[in-house]
Amino acid sequence: MKKPTLVLDGDQIGFNLGETVYEVAERSGIDIPTLCYDSRLDPFGGCRMCIVEVEGSRNPVASCTTKAMPGMRVKTAGGRLDMHRRVLLEMVVSENRELDVDPLSGYASQELKLLADRYDARSGRFNGKQSGQSFEDDPNPFIKRDYDNCISCYRCVRVCAEQEGDYAITVVNRGFETKISTEFEGLLNDSACTFCGQCIQTCPTGALGDLKALANREVPGETKKTRTICTYCGVGCSIDVLSRGEKVIGVLPAMDGPANKGALCVKGQFAYDFVGHRDRLKTPLIKNGSGQLEPASWEDALNCAAEGLSKAVQEHGRHSLYAIASGRAPNEVAYVMQKFVRAGLGTNYIDNCSRA
């Protein structure tokens, strides 16, 4: 069957049934502005920045929630669309304390600022009461809660529910009095929060910020971004490690990571201090005659381990040994481990810590 098509800014474009107008436009390289959109979440339709003109429709429609239909004629910019986008941004700017936040705040933290500049929305119009209420005294080491800069897009609430399944935070009250809160307005630590940091990374204003990265904001040097894999478990989440000089200053989730698509847990997101920690092991250690651990070469260490294991088998039989593979090891390493235990040591006593 021939693919259905629609006309987007004058070009005829094929699409798959079920795709939204926004998705078709994005695939075609058209940059429609958004604030409440995160491609990993259900379309919400709150910010109205992604409005487009659809021929035959009196008012513009939100492209994120509008399904592409065969024969649709869509215009994504110009005319009243730009006027509305500017007014919407002027409104949002008017309710917030500040636009310019440190990029270390989080992955999406510059979205509002960039759009405000793109649409020239720092006009100072629509001044009035500010929305939100900062909760900076929440005593947790990871998540800054500066709701003076919240624009009520609810991406944090939605990522927590839809992506993480934690439902730690919610929308309380309504209208201009809306705010983000935990159950009964308590601390994050007393809520269902797992401190995965996903709310920080999807926040488009820096209202939610990465406290650990922000604490490094005075570290001198250019910020370097290095794509790597999180070392904590076998899932293999892609991360971008941020460093200045020799110091790791933060971690950003990789939205294009094939295993995680931007998701991380508290360890991958925040637990990178071991990298530069003074207690970190840099060589193997062998216990000497008086029970003290001493640095050794890998060759000595492996020989020592082989001797110890062989001795145990000789003295107590092969089933006297039991091996646990680390959950931090990927499948391939776990496979080699069980091969070593079964074929090398001759026992089936092998398990993985993830099961324990």
Partner 1 sequence: MNFTSNQEIILRWKDEPAPLLGVLQEFHDRDGYLSEQVLRQIAKTLKIPVADLFGTVTFYHHFSREPGGLEAPRVCNGPICRMHGSDDLLKSLEGASPMPCSGRCDQPIPVLRGRETLVGLPGSDLERKPSLMPPVLPDNMEECVFVDIRDPRRASLEGYLNSGGYDALKIAIELGSEGLIKLVDDSGLAGRGGAGFPTGRKWKAVADASGNPKTVVCNADEGEPGCFKDRCIMDYDPHALVEGMVLAAYATGATRGFIYLRYEYPETEEILASAIREAYEKKFLGQDILGTDFAFDLYLRRGAGAYICGEETSLLNSLEGKHPFPRNRPPYPVTNGYEDLPTVVNNVETLASVPPIVRNGAHWYQDLGIGDQGGTKIISLSGDIVRPGNYEVPLGFSLMELIEDLAGGCALGRSVQAVTMAGLSGGFLAGGDLDVTLDEPSIREKGSFLGAGGIMVFDDTRDMVKVAFQAMEFFAHESCGKCFPCRIGTQRLSERLAGTAGPTDLQQWLDEVIDLGKTMTETSACGLGMAAPLISSSLLKYFPESVSHHVTG
Binding positions for partner 1, rule: CB under 8 A: 35, 43-49, 51, 59-60, 62, 65, 67, 80, 83-84, 87-88, 91-92, 94-95, 125-129, 131, 151-152, 161, 167-178, 181-184, 191-192
* Residues 89, 119 contacting (CB under 8 angstroms): yes
Q: Which is nearer to partner 1, 20 or 201 (CB)?
A: 20
Q: Which is nearer to partner 1, 66 or 269 (CB)?
A: 66
Q: Which residues of 122-147 are buried (b: 16+ CB within 10 A; e: fewer)?
A: eeeeeeeeebbeebeebeeebbbbbb
Nearest-approach distance from CB 23 to partner 1, in angstroms: 15
Q: 33 in helix, strand or coil?
A: coil
Q: Which is nearer to partner 1, 11 or 183 (CB)?
A: 183
Nearest-approach distance from CB 188 to partner 1, in angstroms: 11
DSSP state of 247: E
Task: State how far the alpha carbon of 126 is from the alpha carbons of 35, 91, 147, 178, in Å.
Answer: 19, 6, 20, 19
* Residues 355, 234 contacting (CB under 8 angstroms): no
Token pair for 308: 């110890």
How far, in Å, CA of 189 to CA of 180, rounded? 15
Q: Which is nearer to partner 1, 80 or 316 (CB)?
A: 80
Nearest-approach distance from CB 187 to partner 1, in angstroms: 13
- Give the residue from 280, 286, 282, 237 showing the smallest Cα distance to 258: 237
Q: Which is nearer to partner 1, 170 or 347 (CB)?
A: 170
Nearest-approach distance from CB 160 to partner 1, in angstroms: 9
Nearest-approach distance from CB 193 to partner 1, in angstroms: 9
